[in-house]
Amino acid sequence: MGNVWRGYDGVLDRPVAVKLIRQQSVTSPQLAQEFAKRFRREARITAKIQHPGVPQVYDAVLDASYERLFLVMELVDGVPLSRWLQPGLPPVPVGWAVAVAAQVATVLSYAHEVPVIHRDLKPGNILVARDGTVKVLDFGIAAMLRTDVTKLTATGTPIGTYQYMAPEQVRGGRITPQTDLYALGCVLHELLSGHVPFTGDNEYSVMYQQVNNAPTPLRQLRPEVPVDLEELVLHLLRKAPEGRPADVQEVYERLRPFLPQPGEDSSGAGDLGGWAGAPDPTVLYRRPYAPRARARAQVPAGQPVSAPSDQAAVPVPVLDTVRAAIREANAHANALLEEERFAQAAEVIGEVLHSAALALGADNRRVLDLRRRRASIMLLGGDYRAALPEFELLAEAYARTDGPTGERTRVCRAQAARCRGELGQVTAALAVLTDVLDLVRSIDGDASEEAVDLRRDIGMLLLAQGRTGEARSVLEPLHTDLCVVYGPDDEMTAEVAEALSLIRRLGPDRPQL
């Protein structure tokens, strides 16, 4: 879709990289809009990840005519990891491979905190700079933990590179940070053995193996690989996302024993034999920096605050002022959402929340609806870590005002569960969604809009876990109902039909490793 050129910043007197869309790629206004949207997302996502292992974005030119679409980025002087993985070359030293993987883990710890999933981690997207810094490139198809990113592809095929694609990506299921961990396991396996975990005559054969076959343990391919390192790679390559390490920080800690200590000589860990002058990724561990610390539990900004219990005691002019502020905040947020500025829109709503709760009461309908809108904006923008506790608090608040089976209570419980699903907590998400669906069925039946959404989410989560038999039992009757209620051409009907087609191609459930 484009080229990367070496450019020059005449104002700041520095070389830069310029990612430019090739005009031949823009064959229609629809395709041009898709490219522009992808470039805008890449610029925003990359700019959010504050880490030296991610090239900085200096500028983005995205004009309305789509004739000039380019990003101006940091120019990195280095070598792609794929250079050392060419056929016929021996595998790299163990210490060298571990240092690369540990640096990638460090970058991912910052990305997942945003939260951003790379989705296409592979040797071609990993570059070792001359000073030994590992750079993770091309966050252009990364998703901010959003499920609609596949709509940015022209074909609807899964995003990723099949040799490094996690089983849930192959199935078209829910993508979580554990998806990047699987890809990291593939890269580390290839660095240590010289081969990707699975090979085949075509991409479909490899993708089938990603879903169904066990990888060859590293020590069968390279006996000098330490036992604990082999176990880590096998752990990263487990089929079920929840069977992999809890997070990338755990991966880093398990790599640490194989890294040089501060002040220690590299002891050949950076020696690539015939590659004269090759960069040494171990040098940063002799002068180390570590991944971002795990986020601490914080009290959500929308938690109920002390407020007057007697609303009649609040002067009418004060109430009018607060209500006007709420209207203004909503209008401002709407304008920001039109430009996909989700974080700023959520902040605008948050600014009026405190005064509204003080004036109207923490459980006032307007205040709760305002908090619910802010949480929904967080969810839409991909900030699931912030949205999750807010939806859980809202469910408790609506349970007090509407009752535990009220519609708003159910919706907030379901939204909290969806956040958990996006964050990889699939078992907990399924339990809550199933419970809410039982309530909805008892009140509104099986084909209401709320029930249909819940059934679809449950089926897709089961599919992402590899529980294809259970997923099929949920999605087949759902597809029948959707055809009757919405018609075969409806977007959700087509989505469920595609998932069922994938289930049929994958065959029966396979044991999870």
391-401 pLDDT, tens digit per residue, is 999 999 999 98
| Greater model confidence, 22 or 338 | 338
167 plus 122 within the same structural domain:
yes
Cβ neighbour number for residue 210 with a 10 Å cutoff:
26
CATH number of 217's domain: 1.10.510.10
Residue 452 and residue 488: Cα distance in Å, rounded?
15
pLDDT higher than 80, residue 296 = no
Q: Is residue 380 part of a domain?
A: yes
382 plus 513 within the same structural domain:
no
Residue 203 and residue 165: Cα distance in Å, rounded?
11
pLDDT higher than 70, residue 268 = no
Least confident of 61-65, 77-81, 119-123, 230-234: 61-65
> Is the whole-model pTM more than 0.85?
no
Least confident of 43-47, 235-239, 478-482: 43-47
Handedness of CA 4, 9, 10, 15 (dihedral sign): negative
Least confident of 156-170, 246-260, 432-446: 156-170
Q: Is residue 494 part of a domain?
A: yes
190 plus 310 within the same structural domain:
no
Query: DSSP character for 53?
Result: T
Residue 39 and residue 41: Cα distance in Å, rounded?
5
Residue 404 and residue 442: Cα distance in Å, rounded?
14
pLDDT for the residue numbered 314: 46
Query: Tell me: the pLDDT tens digits for 147-196?
Result: 343 333 434 455 678 899 999 999 888 889 999 999 999 999 999 999 99
307 plus 250 within the same structural domain:
no
Mean pLDDT of the chain: 84
CATH number of 353's domain: 1.25.40
Cβ neighbour number for residue 248 with a 10 Å cutoff:
25
64 plus 189 within the same structural domain:
no
First to last CA, the chain: 37
Torsion of CA 462, 463, 467, 471, to 10 degrees: 70
Least confident of 233-237, 271-275, 383-387: 271-275
Phi-psi domain of 175 (left: phi exceeds 0; alpha: psi -120 through 50; beta: other):
beta
Give me the active site residues, please: 120
pLDDT higher than 50, residue 306 = no
329 plus 237 within the same structural domain:
no
Domain boundary among 26, 49, 74: 74
* Residue % of the chain over a pLDDT of 90: 52
445 plus 492 within the same structural domain:
yes
315 plus 207 within the same structural domain:
no
Q: What is the DSSP string of 194-249?
A: SS-S---SSHHHHHHHHHHPPPPPHHHH-TTS-HHHHHHHHHHT-SSGGGS-SSHH
Query: Tell me: the pLDDT tens digits for 355-382?
Result: 888 888 888 999 999 999 999 999 998 8
pLDDT for the residue numbered 370: 94
Residue 123 φ then ψ, to 5°: -55, -35
Mention every residue, 6+ apart, whose C-beta is less than 8 A from residue 158: 150, 165, 169, 170, 172
Residue 85's domain comprises 79-271+279-286
The confidence band for 142, taking pLDDT boundaries of 50, 70 and 90, is low
Q: Is residue 237 part of a domain?
A: yes
pLDDT for the residue numbered 124: 92
Q: Is residue 407 part of a domain?
A: no
pLDDT for the residue numbered 464: 86
In one-letter notation, the amino acid at residue 9 is: D
Most confidently modeled range among 129-138, 328-337, 347-356, 411-420: 411-420
pLDDT for the residue numbered 130: 87
372 plus 467 within the same structural domain:
no
Domain boundary among 45, 74, 103: 74
Looking at the DSSP assignment, which residues form a beta bridge with residue 7? 16
CATH number of 38's domain: 3.30.200.20
pLDDT for the residue numbered 512: 46
* Residue % of the chain over a pLDDT of 70: 83
Looking at the DSSP assignment, which residues form a beta bridge with residue 470? none
The confidence band for 261, taking pLDDT boundaries of 50, 70 and 90, is confident
pLDDT higher than 80, residue 295 = no
pLDDT higher than 80, residue 95 = yes
Residue 386 and residue 458: Cα distance in Å, rounded?
22
pLDDT for the residue numbered 355: 84
Contact in structure between 370 and 353 (CB atoms under 8 Å): yes
Query: Tell me: the pLDDT tens digits for 26-64?
Result: 666 676 677 777 777 777 888 888 899 999 888 888 766
131 plus 247 within the same structural domain:
yes
50 plus 140 within the same structural domain:
no
pLDDT higher than 50, residue 441 = yes
pLDDT for the residue numbered 61: 80
Residue 314 and residue 326: Cα distance in Å, rounded?
17
Q: Is residue 411 part of a domain?
A: no
Q: What is the DSSP string of 100-115?
A: HHHHHHHHHHHHHHTT
pLDDT for the residue numbered 147: 38
Q: Is residue 167 part of a domain?
A: yes
pLDDT higher than 70, residue 307 = no
How many domains does the structure of the chain reveal? 4
498 plus 439 within the same structural domain:
yes
Stretch 340-351: mean pLDDT:
88
Q: Are strands 2-9 and 69-74 parallel, antiparallel or unpaired?
A: unpaired
